[in-house]
């Protein structure tokens, strides 16, 4: 279960460190009313989910850390249930997240808080706006980029991957299968040598020396 941040904690996240892989801030929340905005929101959520195997990721709306008073406030509210319904099935596997709003006096800040994920990669599964089905995006510093070969290796074989134990198990099975096959072949060769020697002895000849 995801524990929501308080307003003080939200402001601390937004102002105490630069924008990074597990945090992105935006001055306003744009209601996903058209395909371009929907695609952008899917990209932002999946990018942070793909970058956060150990810690929560945050999309914080209604703040501008460059200002003396970073709390700007959003101009339109939204609902967690609507956002959950929107994202479900459009990113596979679906990241675990919640949307909530916190008040700072007369202003409101919106937060999309994304749980640490070991089920990476989270892959966009539809064409919508500027994003495409099969796209894998990753948050790097203050920008969003496509996944690299190194990212894919980390997703499937890294120690923080949900697939790591399964890969280790499969590798162990493969090693044991190979060892069993090698032992079986060795036994077959020994049996072949014994059978050949028995045939030579049966006909009264000395078996030729093996080279």
pLDDT in tens, 11-61: 888 887 666 668 899 999 999 999 999 999 999 999 999 998 888 999 999
Sign of the dihedral defined by the CA atoms of residues 116, 102, 69, 144, in that order = positive
- What pLDDT score does 208 carry? 66
Q: 194: part of which helix (H) or strand (E)?
A: helix 164-202
Q: What is the DSSP letter of 19?
A: -
Say if domain 7-147 classifies as CATH 3.30.950.30. Answer: yes
Q: Which residues of the chain have pLDDT under 50?
A: none
- What pLDDT score does 204 carry? 67
Task: Please tell me the distance from the alpha carbon of residue 96 to that of residue 49, in angstroms, as a whole number.
Answer: 8
Residue 109, Cβ density class (10 Å: 0-12 exposed, 13-18 middle, ≥19 buried): buried
């Amino acid at each position: 279960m995801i524990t929501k941040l308080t307003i003080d904690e939200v402001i601390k996240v937004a102002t105490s460190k630069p924008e990074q892989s597990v945090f992105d801030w935006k001055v306003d929340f744009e209601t996903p009313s058209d395909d371009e905005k929907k695609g952008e929101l899917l990209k932002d959520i999946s990018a942070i989910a793909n970058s956060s195997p150990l810690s929560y990721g945050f999309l914080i709306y209604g703040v501008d850390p460059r200002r003396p008073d970073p709390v700007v406030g959003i101009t339109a509210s939204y609902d967690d249930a609507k956002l959950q319904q929107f994202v479900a099935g459009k990113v596979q596997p679906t990241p675990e997240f919640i949307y909530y709003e916190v008040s700072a006096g007369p202003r409101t800040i919106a937060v999309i808080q994304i749980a640490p994920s070991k089920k990476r990669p989270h892959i966009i599964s539809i064409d919508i706006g500027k994003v495409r089905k099969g796209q894998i995006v990753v948050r790097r510093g203050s920008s969003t980029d496509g996944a690299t070969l190194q990212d894919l290796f980390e997703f499937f074989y890294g120690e923080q991957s949900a697939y790591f134990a399964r890969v280790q198990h499969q590798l162990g099975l493969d090693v044991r299968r190979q060892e069993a096959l090698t032992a079986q072949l060795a036994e077959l060769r020994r049996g072949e040598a014994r059978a050949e020697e028995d045939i030579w002895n049966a006909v009264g000849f000395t078996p030729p020396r093996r080279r």
